[in-house]
Structure 1
Amino acid sequence: MLGIIPLFRIFDVDKAKEFYVHYLGFQIDWEHRFEDGAPLYMQVTKGEVSIHLTEHHGDCTPGSAVRIEMTEIEQYHAELHSKNYPYARPAVETAPWNSKEVCVTDPFGNRITFYEELEPS
């Protein structure tokens, strides 16, 4: 096995792009529609992490969750706050399992927890 790509259900392409591209800083790798007016299926990537966003009703369930391990979470948190995204103001929290975490929820109820493992104390 070489990797995993989560799928998130979306209902509005503009809101998805505002959240994933403009707020979280992912880039759009590609977009696909079977024909004009058909539901969108696209891939966004930041660093080594890709996510598929889909308008197709049978692909996945809204309200899913994923955890993304990263480094420099404090810097990323500051970057998110500098964008003044009106629908999210996540905090950095220290979890009981010894990680720092920033949790965001997209406009469709999907939750992403970015986390950085802390050194054992």
Structure 2
Amino acid sequence: MRLGRATPILRMFDEGKAREFYVDWLQFKVQFEHRFGANMPLYLGLVRDDLELHLSEHHGDTTPGTRVRLAVDGIHAFYDDIASRRYAFLRPGAPQKQEWGEWDLTLTDPFGNKLTFYENMQ
């Protein structure tokens, strides 16, 4: 038996703000979009490299303010990449070295979800 990768589902409330943060700034690509009908909540699949995230406007799918840890290979290059583009609502600080040997960088999306990108340097 072997477990696979997890795909976090994060709550969103505004499609435009979600696209500005995740697609325009963090450079995720839209993998799929789904609505059960016109004017229904959006369920959005995003991908960047090997990382897949789902965003949902559906009330019962997840809780606002969720925190997820996301592995990254080359956290300083990731920081340089996102810092090279302007995002009006967040100016991330550089990755921080943790006592347990990881480097991490936490970003808060427009809906209060916290994304902690980390690289294990041990």
Report the TM-score range of the alignment, normalised by the length of the smaller protein: over 0.9
**1:18 paired residue number:** 20
Identity %: 39
Q: Does 1:53 align with 2:69?
A: no
2:99 and 2:24 mapped to 1: Cα distance?
Answer: 31
Letter in 2 for 1:7: I
Match of 1:103 in 2: 106
What residue ranges of structure 2 are gaps of 5+ in the alignment?
none
CA distance in 2, matches of 1:26, 1:20: 6
Given residue 57 of structure 1, which amino acid in structure 2 is its aligned partner? Answer: H
Q: Following TM superposition, where does structure 1 have runs of at least 4 consecutive aligned residues deviating by more than 4 angstroms?
A: none
Deviations 1:16-71 (A, max 9, x none): 01101111111100000000100000100111111110000011100001111111
TM-score (norm 1): 0.94
**Matches for 1:19-98 after TM superposition, within 5 Å:** 19-91=21-93, 92-98=95-101
- Measure, in 2, the Cα distance between the counterparts of 1:90 and 1:98: 21
- The aligned residue for residue 4 of structure 1 is 6
Runs of 5+ in structure 1 lacking a partner?
Answer: none
